[in-house]
Structure 1
Amino acid sequence: GFLFPAFSDRSSDVNAIGYYVKDAKKAQPAFMQEVLGCEAKRTAAEEKKTFHGILKDVISEEVEDAKTVILDIQQDLNDMVEEHKNVFENEPVLLTPPAIREAMAEKGLSEEVISKVEEICEEAFGDTPPLAENLIDSKALQTHAAAKKANVLALEVESLKQKLEEKEALPEKEVILQVSAEKLPDIQTEFINGKKCIVIPLEEDEHATINGKHWDNAPF
């Protein structure tokens, strides 16, 4: 559907046409050009598809796991948009070459790949770079963030499991001490009441913690 004249700033605009399609992926550019006489522009969905296609084609040439790198780039774009909004409120962030380079920084990509993405994006979008927020796949980022969190938790669980296994493997009567490097020269072994003891001198301003309990010269 379309509306002429367009409704803009609470008044009619005879220099514009309001155009609507149910599915943004099917914008019917031929209808806009041949029937309405308007220059066809990409929709937000088309811009996102174009940008993701460029990233996939170029990054896949150098990186095996291109999907993860692309999601990381999207996350940086999302962070960039959020930070910009906090400072400039409603001012949009355009996907200019500097913005592309910033989002791709520290991703382990070569200068050749970054420059190639910049060049192809300039060719694809011309003098009207798209809004950065239109290129962000929020659902994919949520899934990606959840997967990252799950991986971190899995690593933590594995680390705890290894520590428990190491603890269980220790002899029951083994004593483990953890002291600062400065105290090492002061540690001595003495026989007290016929028993071999480890003696660690403590200064007045020093304290010890044994099995989680603070030692204050009193018996446990």
Structure 2
Amino acid sequence: MNKKEVLEIRKQFSPKNCAITKICGCYVDYEKNKKMESKDAFLALPEEEAFKYFDIFKKTLSGSIGKNMLNMEFPLDAEMPGGTQEFLLKLRDSRLEDDMLLEEFYDKVIATYEYAENYYIILIHAAYDVPGRTSDDLEMDDASDEVYQHILMSICPVSLSKAGLSYNAEENCIQDRIRDWIVDKPDKGFLFPAFNDRSTDLHSVLYYTKKSEDLQPEMIDQLLGAKMPMSADTQKETFQMIIEDTLGEDGDYETVRNIHETLNDMIEEHKEEPDPLTLDKTDVKKIFEQSGVPNEKMENFEKNFEENAGEKATLLASNIAETRKFNIETPDVVIKVNPDRMDLVETRMIDGRQCLVIPVDDHIEVNGINVRTMKVKGVAGPKAGGSGEAVENAEDDIVPFDED
């Protein structure tokens, strides 16, 4: 699913567009005991309660594609009789009316979801009457192409509210606040079937994770049985290893900077597209070549890529690029640069040492204090008989660093 398709489903979580037929819930304590189960017609819920559920469902379809929302496909064995996809299909087709299927579903979640505290499993069934669209992408409300039947699961941690004091309006006094068990925003969830090309895709599922590094592989394998892609964090680490292995020990700052600038330019050009920018081995190779990686270094590129990522692996540009920050670190100094102004930092040999040089034409701020410039100590100016050439870098911030 791309962001436009996700947005179309999210829009259904409102009173005007609501297509939810049934909502089921199971409250689980820290010992994995089922403490409460419920099953209701969604439209029968009180309005204020329904709005809070809408917020949870919208959050389950939020974040970045490829980072928080992962498109996963079912392998062939998952679609065979007795497979995980067949079970999910039965659950959807039952419209959540089959109590035995619901109990089996809850048991699978409880057995595989790793969480040490209380949580609330929410499962809904919805039937979205997909409107047709004209050639210029305008919706035709009276021309439906199909009914998209789906289930959505959200797993929400449940935590005890903080202790404190509160004002009692009836008694007109300050008193100890009653501590309640609060349902938090979802931690995990999924949408089945996926809504690809604005249509039902029984071969795919959209998986949600609040933390990109915490995918919970066992739950994905046992509950969904879908192929799990590399997490966003793993993709970033993999890309860094490909750069390091390709450039070797003598990789230079300018080349690494060029790679990230090329990536950011590609992301900027692609930002209006609904599908995320995906890069395969050939795409990454072109980025390296355009960024000035020497030909002799590129001789082993394909080997480095396959050893780190896999021959047919793809990486999402948004997962491997730094679009919001660009950090330069030495053992004792960390420099944070606006990614749009990476050109401000350059390397230069000064007094036999390799240094990072940053022009400071504007003001400098030290611990929140504005200072005009830096004093250069021990440098003789023209009045003292010196040539004055040594002060040419007085308006630059110079950070020495070693080769390694």
> For the structure 1 residues 120 and 30, does the alpha-carbon distance in structure 2 shift closer, same or farther, using more than 3 Å as the test?
farther
> For the structure 1 residues 2 and 17, does the alpha-carbon distance in structure 2 shift closer, same or farther, using more than 3 Å as the test?
farther
1:105 to 289, 299, 316: 289
Structure 2: where are the runs of 5+ without partners? 1-187, 328-335, 346-356, 363-372, 375-380, 386-404
CA distance in 1, matches of 2:209, 2:236: 17
> Would the aligned equivalents of 1:4 and 1:14 in 2 still touch at CA under 8 Å?
no
1:70 is the counterpart of 2:256:
yes
Once the two structures are aligned, what percentage of the paired residues are identical?
25
CA distance in 1, matches of 2:294, 2:259: 14
Q: CA deviation at 1:136?
A: 0.5
CA distance in 2, matches of 1:103, 1:42: 21
CA distance in 2, matches of 1:131, 1:68: 23
> For the structure 1 residues 23 and 91, does the alpha-carbon distance in structure 2 shift closer, same or farther, using more than 3 Å as the test?
closer
RMSD, matched Cα: 3.9
CA distance in 2, matches of 1:105, 1:11: 39
> For the structure 1 residues 25 and 102, does the alpha-carbon distance in structure 2 shift closer, same or farther, using more than 3 Å as the test?
same
1:32 is the counterpart of 2:251:
no
> Would the aligned equivalents of 2:281 and 2:312 in 1 still touch at CA under 8 Å?
no
Q: Report what 1:5 is aligned to.
A: 192
> Would the aligned equivalents of 2:220 and 2:228 in 1 still touch at CA under 8 Å?
yes
1:81 maps to amino acid: I
| Structure 1 residues 145-164: aligned runs within 5 Å | 145=338, 148-149=343-344, 151=357, 153-154=359-360
Q: Report what 1:96 is aligned to.
A: 280
1:149 maps to amino acid: L
2:229 to 21, 41, 53: 41
Q: CA deviation at 1:24?
A: 0.8
> Would the aligned equivalents of 2:215 and 2:231 in 1 still touch at CA under 8 Å?
yes
CA distance in 2, matches of 1:41, 1:112: 32
> Would the aligned equivalents of 2:258 and 2:292 in 1 still touch at CA under 8 Å?
no
Segment of structure 1 superposing worse, 5-14 or 41-50 = 5-14
Q: CA deviation at 1:129?
A: 1.8
CA distance in 2, matches of 1:28, 1:137: 25
CA distance in 2, matches of 1:98, 1:152: 35
Which structure dedicates a bigger proportion of its chain to helix? 1
> Would the aligned equivalents of 2:193 and 2:204 in 1 still touch at CA under 8 Å?
yes
> Deviation digits for residues 113-153 of structure 1, max 9, x if unmatched?
22433333245143342232321112333834456426452
> Would the aligned equivalents of 1:94 and 1:129 in 2 still touch at CA under 8 Å?
yes
Q: Report what 2:298 is aligned to.
A: 114
CA distance in 2, matches of 1:74, 1:147: 9
> Deviation digits for residues 57-79 of structure 1, max 9, x if unmatched?
4324332x4x6533331111111
Aligned residues: 160
Q: Report what 1:186 is aligned to.
A: none
Rg larger in 1 or in 2?
A: 1
CA distance in 2, matches of 1:16, 1:96: 21
Q: CA deviation at 1:48?
A: 1.6
Segment of structure 1 superposing worse, 122-131 or 6-15 = 6-15
> Would the aligned equivalents of 1:58 and 1:113 in 2 still touch at CA under 8 Å?
yes
1:153 maps to amino acid: P
> TM-score, normalised on structure 2?
0.32
Structure 1: where are the runs of 5+ without partners? 159-164, 170-220
1:141 is the counterpart of 2:326:
yes
1:56 is the counterpart of 2:262:
no
1:6 maps to amino acid: P
Which structure dedicates a bigger proportion of its chain to strand? 2
1:131 maps to amino acid: L
> For the structure 1 residues 28 and 109, does the alpha-carbon distance in structure 2 shift closer, same or farther, using more than 3 Å as the test?
same
Q: CA deviation at 1:167?
A: 11
CA distance in 2, matches of 1:103, 1:166: 48
| Structure 1 residues 172-211: aligned runs within 5 Å | none
